[in-house]
Structure 1
Amino acid sequence: MKATPPPVIYKSISELMREINMPEPLHPLVALVNYDKHKGSPKNAVHNFLINFYKVTFKKDFRGQVKYGQDYYDFEEGGLAFLAPNQLITMSNDQNCYQGYNLFFHADLIRNYQLGKNIHQYGFFSYAVNEALFLSEKEKKIIAGLFENIAAELDNNIDAFSQDVLVSQIELLLNYSNRFYNRQFLTRKAIHHDLISQMDTYLSARFADQQGGIPTVLEAAKHLQVSPRYLTDMLKSLTGQSAQQHIHDRLIEEAKVVLSTTRLTIAEIAYQLGFEHPQSFNKLFKRYTNLSPTVFRKSFN
């Protein structure tokens, strides 16, 4: 069996542009590829690679199916996808099959700006590709305009204000993306409520199994086939709670049932629910109910 070659690592944007036969970037820390004008293709047969910078992809025309959880859904809109540095990318063969943009920017571009401190708050950089943002016609026009503004700025000669302007334009693009993702969460409530139902079913099974410790966000997300950050952001938009808070809520409800219907000791209940130490169970229960497990149990006697 032929071994899979390790991924190629691109440390600079210029290096990647050369590899995909694109013009040398005018700014060393940021590049914008417009597929309406350039149809890049790799010089070598490199299919898997890592890039040490951020990537934002905008497809004006997207056709096909996208997987959410266990199901597939058809979309007719354009889409946005986001990648943080050092994530594995598989080169697709559709470089000549769609219109749109690829924006690449290095962390050094935003390092001394507020965006550099807040970039982790844009959770979609941690989403899976199949959790892309799908846009309405109106939203596509807004996003296309933002990319065109970035392209126009990159065509200007670099001066003392270039970096400030570019960073502010990228930040505006990310803020609009945040807004549109929130709209997507809300307009796909039926899909996401089904995802919540699947998560609750999974948690119930885990609690009933009484093995494997307390369920984690990572485990729940893996079971639901979504990324942990997407699961948290989706839950926050619909319930106001993070995925971790949702798990804790279910855990406390399970604890209340056991406390009120069995004679197990507090320590036995803690171990049954997956806690390594009864003190940790006491602390979490009191944080959510303002009562210790013992006081809560006495209220039922």
Structure 2
Amino acid sequence: MERGFLDELEDNAAVRIWSETTQQEKCDSLAEGYISELWDFTRISVTQNSLQELKEILDQWNEEVRQLFHSNYGDLPYLLYMKVDKHLFRALAQFWNPAYSCFTLGKVDLVPTVEEYMALLWCAKIQVDKVYSRAINPPTFLKKLMNIIGISEQWVTTRIKQKRDNKCISWRNLKDVVLKHLDMKKRVDVFALSIYGLVIFPKALGHVNEAVTDLFDRLDKGFTPVLAILAETFRSLNACRRAGEGRFIGCAQLLLAWFHSHFWKVDKVSYRVFSGSYFLLKEVVATPMRDDISMEKWIAILQNLQEEDVE
């Protein structure tokens, strides 16, 4: 098998150049010399689920359980510790261009790529060439939950709720499984499902909805969730920008981690790498970041970015 992109040692600049070249070849990038102007202000909400209980459970796990989780689901737990800077996020959202599905920051055109998100969500089991798509006749929500949780039909049936147009199950019920299930592998699986539902696809606050279980049910077969994550990120940003308001229901933690990864330099020299053996998300979380910058200041910074400012 040929070595994939993540098996090669590539720095951030190489990833960005690859992304921009691909956009140009596909005629998706902005016209040469285009400089953006800030559109009408978008009032975007970044309301998040409380993740304290998830962090408390993770802190109680011993090294053996942590390794079991990591071997199956990679670096997901680091998302629990990624602080969402609402000022930065709201400022960044103002520069999202729905026409091109990218951020136009001053003279810089940036968009998250599959390779970058794969590096952030590093997981040995995920195969970049196995793309998730919703099955034509998927199992029912009940059947999928029974398979993932490993508990009786009666228990699951009584805990399924209807939230607007979606069926879901509450974190409170899933928490009981994570704490009490006799099978440790099932505890790990349900914990991972909860991260996907509460952090990566936080559509219904405090709940995991049916669409998340459909994706999650395919992860053990090596399917990558990255395209679905990016699609939801773009869809939510587009909806908010076009409406001028709204709640972002993509993964704010991942988007901000991606953003920060493009602005790490030491003496103007790039030193971060995207590779299969480098845990980028872990280092993003561990890096101290200022949280006292106002949204207005962030907007001014982003509006005046030059190419040399970005890795």
Common topology (TM > 0.5): no
Structure ID, larger Rg: 1
TM-score (norm 1): 0.23
TM-score (norm 2): 0.22
